[in-house]
Structure 1
C-alpha cells in the first residue's frame, strides 16, 4: 500500500475508564483533547515537538508512543515507513487515569489511516484492535476512538465496542491531583480472586450504570458503587480514596477515574451549582482544597477526529 498524503492532523479526547463498577469494560470520552500533527518526510529523520502535558518528560524520538503506534499501523497495512515530524499539543494529564496513553495510541493509528491511500484498511474495528493490542485492554481506547460512553469487550475475533447515548443531564467533573500513579502500579495490587458476593454486587451495579447513564441519571450514586477494584487500590492512592469516600457520603457519584489518582464525579446538570458547593465543602473538610485541579470538560460525543491537511 502507498502513502496518499504527507500531512495529517488528529484531535483525540481524554477518557475515564471503569466508571466505578464497569472495570475494564465501561469508558467515557471527555471533551479535553490532545492535538497532534504529523508530516511524513522523505528522509529517515524523526523529530518530535511536545507542548503542554508531558513536555520535557516523554520520549522525543522513535520511542514516542504516537510514533510507535503510527509505525505499527503502517506495518499492519503494508505501507512504507517514512521519516516523521510530529507535533503534539497535549492537554491530557499524564499518569492521572485520564487515558493519555490510549489517546496517544489512537492518535498514531488514525494518523496512519489518513496517510495511506486506502484508509478503509484501518477502519474503526482495525484501529480498536491495534490500540487494544498496544494498550492491553480496550476500555480507554474505545471511547477515545468512538466518543460518548462505551462498553468494550473481547471475543475470539478481537475487541468490540458499542456506544451508549449519554443522557444530557450527566455532567462529568474531574478532580485532578498533582501526584501521579502508574497504571501498572494500580493494577498490580488487585487480587487474583474476589469474593463471589462482591463480584455479584458489582455486576449488578454495572448493569444499573448503563441505565443511569442513558436514561436515569438520578440513579448514578447507587449505580457507581463498586466492590471489585477500588477498595484494593486505596493504599496506593490514599488521598484519592479518601476523597471518593467523602464525596459519596455527601451524595456525589464519585469514582476513581481509570487507574487513578484522578477522581471522576458524575453530576447532574439539573442540580445547578449544588455539586460544586458540595465538592468545595468536602475538599475544605479534608484540607485538600488546594491540591486538586477541577476540570468540567463535558462529554466528547464524536471521539477522535482525523483529517488530511
Structure 2
C-alpha cells in the first residue's frame, strides 16, 4: 500500500428528504467544504478553520466531528491515529439543513482512509459514515455524489442512483437563523395514519419519476409530504410566504432541506433567476436576511487530491 503525507478532501453539501423521501433520499449540490490533512512527524494533532462561521467550529480534538471520524476509521483498522494537521475551509453553512455534519464525517473518514493507503473500499467507508450519522440520506450523496435512495437489504445497505433531469434547477434559500435537528425531530408524530403512509408512498414513486423525466406536473404533485413538513414548517419563520413567492415566480414546488431551516425550491432554467429573487425578497420583507442561490447536482461526491509523499 502506498502512503501519502498530505491530502485534501473536498466534500459537497447535501439536501435530504426532497419532500416525500423522508430519511431515505439525498442529493449532493455544487457547494463544498474542504479538508486538508498533513501527517506530522511528531507533536500533537492540530485543527485550524477558515471561512464563514469558522469561529463556531470547535478546534478541540475531543469535540471536533472531523477528528472523530478520522479516529473512527483508524480504530476500525485496529490502529492508533497518527498526529495530523487538519485545515478546514468552510463554505457549507452550519446547522442549516445542508449536510455540514455529513461533510465532516465523510471528510474525516475519506481523509484517514487516504492517509492509511486506502485499505477500505468506498462501500466500507460508506457503512462507517452511516453508522456515525445514524441514517444514510446525507452521508451517502456526500460520499458518492448524485441523487441517491438508500434502503436496507439482506446484506446491508442498497444504494440506488436516482437520475436527475438536466432541466431541474435546485434553488436553496438559507436564512440567517438555525434550527436544531433535535428540535426538528421532536415535533414529529410518533405514529401516522394509514392514509398518510399511502399518500407518501405514492408521492415518493411520483418524485422518482418526476426527477428522472423532468415532467413538471408530476414534480408539482410529488413535492408534497405528510410525514415531516407539516410539522416542521411551524418552526421556520416565513415558510408560507417564501413558498408562495417561489411558486408564483415559477417554482414547481418547495420543500424543507433536511431538517431545515434552509428551504429548497425546484424550478427550471427559465425561471431560476426569478425564483432566487422572489425567495430572497419574501424573507427580506419579514426582516430576515437570507442567502439564496441556484446550484446544480454534484455527480462526483468526495474528491481526494494527494500531495507530497506519494
Please identify, of 3-12 and 198-207, the stretch whose mean Cα deviation from structure 2 is larger: 3-12
- Structure 1 gaps of 5+ residues are none
Instruction: Report the Cα distance in structure 2 between the residues aligned to 1:4 and 1:172, rounded to whole angstroms.
Output: 39
TM alignment of 1:75-94, pairs within 5 A? 75-94=75-94
Q: Distance in 2 between matches of 1:296 and 1:216?
A: 17
Query: 2:289 aligns to what?
Result: 291
- Provide closer, same or farther for how the CA distance between residues 9 and 293 of structure 1 changes in structure 2, counting only shifts above 3 A: same
Q: How far is 1:270 from its partner? A: 4.1
Distance 1:179 1:66 in 2: 23
Deviation at 1:273, TM superposition (A): 4.0
Q: Could you tell me how far 1:197 is from its partner in structure 2? A: 0.9
Q: Does 1:8 align with 2:7?
A: yes
What is the SS of the residue equivalent to 2:54? coil
> Deviation of residue 153 (structure 1)?
1.7
> What are structure 2's unaligned runs of at least 5 residues?
none
- Following the alignment from structure 2 to structure 1, what is the Cα–Cα distance between the partners of residues 39 and 300? 26
**Equivalent residues in 2 for 1:173-184 (5 A)?**
173-184=171-182
| Correspondence for 1:164 | 162
Q: Which residue in 1 is equivalent to 2:303?
A: 305
Instruction: Return the alpha-carbon distance in structure 2 between the equivalents of residues 233 and 102 of structure 1.
Output: 21
Q: 1:103 maps to which residue?
A: 103
Could you tell me how far 1:158 is from its partner in structure 2? 3.2
Moved over 6 A (4+): none
Stretch deviating more after TM superposition (270-279 or 40-49): 270-279
Partners of 2:194 and 2:89 in 1: CA distance: 45
CA RMSD of the aligned region, Å? 2.1
Normalising by structure 2, what TM-score?
Answer: 0.91
SS in 2 for 1:122: coil
Distance 2:194 2:69 in 1: 38
After superposition, where does 1:213-292 map in structure 2 within 5 Å? 213-218=211-216, 219-240=218-239, 242-244=241-243, 247-248=246-247, 252=251, 253-271=253-271, 273-276=273-276, 278-279=278-279, 282-283=282-283, 287-288=285-286, 291-292=289-290
